[in-house]
Amino acid sequence: MDSEPKIAVFPGTFDPLTNGHVDVIDRGRRLFDRLIVAVGENPDKAPLFAADERVSMIRELVRDWPNVVVEAFAGLTVDYVRSRRAVAILRGIRSTIDLPHELQQAYTNRTLSGIETVFILTTEEHSLISSSMIKQVAGMGGDVSQMAPALVVARLRERLKSAPAKPRLPVSDD
C-alpha cells in the first residue's frame, strides 16, 4: 500500500480569487491528502494585486482547511509541481470555452513531466465567473458580492478606490 500522501497543486494567478476558485479548492481538498494553491505570475497580465496580497487573502479564506497550503511560485508550473512532489495538477473547467486551452496545457504538462492533470467542472452558478469579469464589473462600480468572497470584494473596493481615475469618454446626446 502506498503511504505517500497524494498531493495536488491548483495553480493560477487568482487575481482576484473568485467563488469558482473557492469551490474548486473546497472540492479538490476532499480528493487529495494535501492541496497546494500555487499563486503564480502570468507575464501576459498586469495584476491588480501583488502576489503576496493574493497569497494572504487566499490563506485567510482557507485557514479552516488544514490540508490546504497556499504558496507563491515563479517559473514553469511543472517544475514547481515536481518540487512539491505532487501527483497531479488540479484545474477547474468553467465551460467548453476553457476546454481547448486546458487540454493543450494538460497534454504539454504531461509531455514535459509525466504529471497528470485532474479537471473539476465548476458548478453552474460559477461557470460564467472570471477574475477579469470581476475586475471589470467592480471597476465600473458594479456589485460583485455574488461572484467573490466578501474578503476579496472588500479588498477590491479598497484597491479600486485608491486607484487613479480612468478618463471617461464623453457621452453623446444623439
Q: Active-site residue 21, yes or no? A: yes
Q: Dump pLDDT digits (tens) for 16-48.
A: 999 999 999 999 999 999 999 999 988 888 899
pLDDT for position 166: 53
**The three grid cell numbers given for residue 11, joined into one nine-digit string:** 495553480
Q: Please tell me the CATH code under which domain 7-128 is placed.
A: 3.40.50.620
Catalytic entry in 21, 54, 126, 135:
21
Higher-pLDDT residue of 164, 141: 141
Q: What pTM was estimated for this model as a whole? A: 0.89
Q: Active-site residue 172, yes or no? A: no
Q: Active-site residue 94, yes or no? A: yes
Tell me whether strands 88-93 and 68-72 are parallel, antiparallel or unpaired.
unpaired
- Residue 115 identity (one-letter amino acid): I
pLDDT for position 163: 63
Catalytic entry in 6, 45, 63, 85:
45
Prior bond to 167 cis, omega within 30? no
Catalytic entry in 29, 94, 126, 155:
94
Catalytic entry in 54, 126, 131, 155:
131
Is residue 78 within 8 Å of 66, Cβ to Cβ? no
